Amino acid sequence: MKKNILSINNLSVSFDYQENFLSKKQKIKAVNNINLNIKKGSFFGLVGESGSGKTTLGRAILGANKISSGNVIYHDDRKDYNLADITKKEMKEYRKKAQLIFQDPYAALSPRMTVRDIIAEPLEVMGITSSRDETDQRVRDIASKCRLNLEHLRRFPHAFSGGQRQRISIARALVSQPNFIVADESVAALDVSIQADILNLLKQLQDQLDLTYLFISHDLSVVAHVCDIVAVMYLGHIVEMAPSRELFSNPRHSYTKALLSSIPSIDPEKKSRAIELQGEIPSAMNPPSGCVFRTRCPNPCNSCKEGSVEMGLIEVSPGHWVDQCCVNCN
């Protein structure tokens, strides 16, 4: 049994909303009481509704969003880092261990720096290497692992295509030898061929460098192919979580079912069989009581409709967790 690299307990992250100076402050609960463990070495997928809190969760894990309540604990070999209560010094250490691969390979790379300098920057900022030679060595090493031509290190990013830029971004994220990577929509901007290439690369690096990924994506076919476990978010909550094959072959939550049914078919003559969701998308400023999905659920039971059910995951088969009410009604 693999150890957890990350445990998240009752995590909530809120933002303030204020219409103007005079009006009352409201809270947007972007992440609402989430519990989650990520095992070392997993390719953990996070999917779900736009605005459901995926990026916020990823940023909270990296220490880039303030935690409102609960905690996130990163288990290193030697010690634990509690992100809800972390000192400046620990945060400095932690940044070497957990890294983000940016979504946008065009915006993320400074046009005025050479590829070598872009990849080397984290080493210099974090003070990891002590000489230029050592830095160069590290940069060359990771660049070749990411299948970048060493000739290219002297060039500027605009000479590269999206796929090559994404490899540069990946090299930059990996150069400090982190163990944990948050990849937020990291292949969304790429065409399917380059996407397949980058995903193969991420898989290969995972084995070589002993990495754990949190992979946030809207592309369910990609997630099905690369992730070994997947969590589904809706309006700040995780509503279902299961090993990938299980989730895609046997979804239990009504939102997951609607989501999987909406994957567009590549056959233009095939009419969509999507379960259409009715009703307004509720707002994170004012979420429904009880089950957060009840206002759009195609088949809520009576207690769901009243808003009196309590949310919470229960295990329906080994490793397959579903929000409790849904288990009884469907």
Partner 1 sequence: MKHLLEINNLDVKFDTDEGRITAIENVSLSLDQGKVLGIVGESGSGKSVTAKSIMQLNPGNTIYNDNAEIIIDEENVLKYHSKNDLKKIRGGKVSMIFQEPMASFAPAIKIGHQMVEQLLLHKSLNKKEAKSISIDMLNRVGIADAEKRFNQYAFELSGGMRQRAMIAMALSTMPKLLLADEPTTALDVTIQAQVINLIKDIIKEYNMGVIFITHDLGVIAQVADDVAVMYLGSIVEKGPVNEILKNPKHPYTKGLLNALPDINNLDAPLRPIPGNIPSPLDRPSGCVFRTRCPNPTHECKEGHIEMGLLEVSPGHWVDQCCINCG
Ligand X SMILES: Nc1ncnc2c1ncn2[C@@H]1O[C@H](COP(=O)(O)OP(=O)(O)OP(=O)(O)O)[C@@H](O)[C@H]1O
Closest contact distance (angstroms) between CB of 52 and ligand SF4 is 14
Closest contact distance (angstroms) between CB of 29 and partner 1 is 13
Q: H-helix or E-strand containing 164? A: helix 162-174
Q: Can you name the residues that pair with 100 across neighbouring β-strands?
A: 182
Binding residue for ligand X, selected from 12, 32, 56, 179, defined by CB under 6 A: 56
Size, binding site for ligand X by CB under 6 A: 15
151 part of the interface to partner 1, by CB under 8 A: no
Closest alpha carbon to 174 in 99, 226, 104, 92: 99
Closest alpha carbon to 214 in 23, 59, 35, 323: 59
Closest contact distance (angstroms) between CB of 330 and ligand SF4 is 6
Q: How far is it, in rounded angstroms, from Cα 284 to Cα 12?
A: 13
Q: H-helix or E-strand containing 313? A: strand 313-317
Binding residue for ligand X, selected from 45, 53, 178, 290, defined by CB under 6 A: 53
183 part of the interface to partner 1, by CB under 8 A: no
Binding residue for Mg ion, selected from 14, 55, 99, 135, defined by CB under 5 A: 55
Q: Which class for 165: exposed (0-12), middle (13-18), buried (19 or more C-beta within 10 A)?
A: buried
Binding residue for partner 1, selected from 82, 110, 137, 272, defined by CB under 8 A: 272
Nearer to ligand SF4, 181 or 322 (CB): 322
Closest contact distance (angstroms) between CB of 215 and partner 1 is 14
Place of tokens 């150890």: 3
Q: H-helix or E-strand containing 179? A: none
| Ranges of H-type helices in 68-147 | 88-97, 115-125, 132-145
21 part of the interface to partner 1, by CB under 8 A: no
Residues making up the chain, counted from first to last: 330
Nearer to partner 1, 46 or 123 (CB): 46
Nearer to partner 1, 224 or 322 (CB): 224
Q: Binding residues for ligand X, per CB under 6 A?
A: 15, 28, 30, 50-56, 158, 161-162, 189, 284
Applying CB under 5 A, which residues contact Mg ion? Answer: 55
